[in-house]
Amino acid sequence: MSVSVASVDTVSADALSRPSSSPRFAGRLLRRPVAVACCAYLALIIGVAIVAPIVLPAISSQNAGDLLSANQDPSLHHLLGTDTLGRDVLARLLVGTRVTVVGIAEALAVVLALGVPLGLAAGYLGGWIDRVVSWLADLTFSVPAIVIIIVVLSVFPESMLAGMSAFGVLAAPGLMRVVRSATLPVREEPYIEAAQVSGLSRLYILTRHVLPRITGAVIVQASFLAAVALAVQTGLAFLNLLIASPAPSWGGMVADGTSVILLHPWLIWPPGIAIALMMLALGLLGDAVRDAATEAWSAPVIRRARQRTARDGSTAATNVSAGRPETLLAVDQLSIAFPSRSGTTRVVEGLNLDVAEGEIVGIVGESGCGKTVSISAILGLLPGGGRIEEGRILFSGRDLARFSEAELRRIRGKEIALVSQEPMISLDPAFTVGWQLREAVRTHLRLPRGEARARVLELLASVHLPDPATVARRYPHELSGGMAQRVAIARALAGEPRLLIADEPTTALDVTIQAEILGLLRELTATRKMAILLVTHDWGVVADICDRVVVMYAGQVVERAEPAPMFRTPLHPYTEALLSANPHRAPEAEKLPAIPGDVPPPGLWPAGCRFHPRCSYVTSECRDRVIVLEAPFPRRQTRCIHYEELVPDE
């Protein structure tokens, strides 16, 4: 019992500390079929709990029915049969619903009355209050809950209020911890400090500013606690500790059925199914509320980004570097930010990027420059609360930055696919290669099982894996690194995407396997007209397969060109330094050049040119003015005012 009560604390509240009080929250929740079904079922249960005892008042005090009709199977006269005393099972099930619902309501009232205020106080006030509340919670978790509840019921026999209130007191620390965890980051928000400076009372700040932000976490935990309370209530009723006979209850009906389970097993099914369905509805409703609360938090941010985009649309449109009719992907003035203790911190700013059909575009830069975050934004998979603040992501003319999660799911894998640098991580070790590819094929192409199996073998053959049938039967741990990467590419191709995003796909492979994978990527662009956006640190990979290169530094594009002219004459000191530090170009028996310093972290970017603290060409002008991308030569762009010094004299 103590395990069940404590387990509700394990549900993470970090992603739920969102303002689920958004005016569109209810609409977002009700757009989810699972949420609608759960709400409808719970509303039906509550309606039955109210109406049934009024319509069937005699059932509550009925000691016995027709003893000659005891233990009958379902029939037209008794739709769910009769129990051991000849009483109608359906009527008792309906009337017993009130007892069950009232028990859950009493437990939830106590849990919410204790858990929410204590969690708010501990998280917001901190100090000795936090220590005392946390100590009391730890003490409660160490107590055997079922023993305490039985002791309470021995003092107050057959008292629903006493038994479920005792459960509520013992379960409240779980909710308190979740509320405290959700309150801690909200307390650090700038608007909370502004409210304090304005002289608003703590109670007002807690109720009007903090509580709305954590409502999603509270609702989710309440739904799970309601399911636990249902299990506790029916369990105690099963033991005849809560309900005085002959009053019907779901737990008591299960107990009645188990007494004759060998002779008449049907009796345990009606109350058992009712209990299972209600627990399932409560659990699924909690999941739906969590998802809707998270989506509701991101909606205002997306809406503001759209308004800025619409307001600046005429200017931004001129900044798309593509403009070509065959352009497949065009990232326009993209800025990405993540939440931080000071509010939000930008990690990518003003990114312009385009990829044409059948083209391979490489993104190069040190770790921390914003490469992986940028491709995550294209896929709508920004981690840790990251969001698009400004800009557009145009894919086939559609702005992915405006897409909902459901719309992005239809794009991912089907039109845009991803291959990561760690193929073993992307493959589930519990399933065979064939099973995982078959599920991808059926998801994207809607093929029958037989055709899906044949398609899997075609995909494995297309990435040059020998004996595809044998590979399909293997588990990921039975594959080498090169084979696993080919399988990952095959799965990415399952939906026949038009754009493949490859995040350092050859980093974990040896040189020979790297060459084979790069050759495979070249072949895919030639045979399928598929575009590839390639993130890499390896200039050799860039020279081998890329049509164009984008160099990023500190969240900005600093140079853009085709590989050959960039290798001959880099137009930015950062590109020059990266090429000089390339081991493939270093003279033998000489020390490999290194770039002094490190990439500045987001939020600490220097003024002016962000590379100037590490640059050998730096002047005062580099520190004082904002440096913009210029196009000094055809099909070349650089973010450097000293690019002429990098061009060798003729």
DSSP-derived secondary structure letter, 593: P
Q: Collapsing DSSP states into helix, strand and coil, what is residue 505?
A: coil
Spatial separation of the C-alpha atoms in residues 600 and 625, rounded to whole Å: 18
**Which amino acid makes up residue 115?**
G
**Helix H or strand E segment including 536:** strand 531-536
Q: What's residue 111's pLDDT? A: 93
pLDDT below 70 — which residues of the chain? Answer: 1-26, 58-66, 189-191, 193-200, 293-325, 423-426, 430, 508, 584-590, 649-650
- Cβ-based neighbour number of residue 563 at 10 Å: 17
DSSP-derived secondary structure letter, 496: -
Q: What's residue 297's pLDDT? A: 44
Q: What's residue 425's pLDDT? A: 64
Tokens of 73: 């199977």
Cis before 246? omega within 30: yes
Spatial separation of the C-alpha atoms in residues 563 and 546, rounded to whole Å: 7
Domains in the chain, ordered, with CATH?
2-58+86-302 (1.10.3720.10), 327-415+497-567 (3.40.50.300)
CA 400-401-404 angle, to 5 degrees, is 75
Q: Which of 624, 620, 623, 615 is nearest to 643 (CA)?
A: 615
213-225: per-residue pLDDT in tens? 788 788 888 888 9
Spatial separation of the C-alpha atoms in residues 185 and 295, rounded to whole Å: 18
DSSP-derived secondary structure letter, 648: P
């580099």: which residue's tokens?
A: 622
Q: What's residue 440's pLDDT? A: 82
Query: How much is the pTM?
Result: 0.55
CA 177-182-188 angle, to 5 degrees, is 125
Q: Which residues contact 8 (CB under 8 A, 6 or more apart)?
A: 171, 174, 175, 178, 221, 224, 225, 228
- The DSSP-derived string for 429-456 is TTS-HHHHHHHHHHHHH---HHHHHHHH
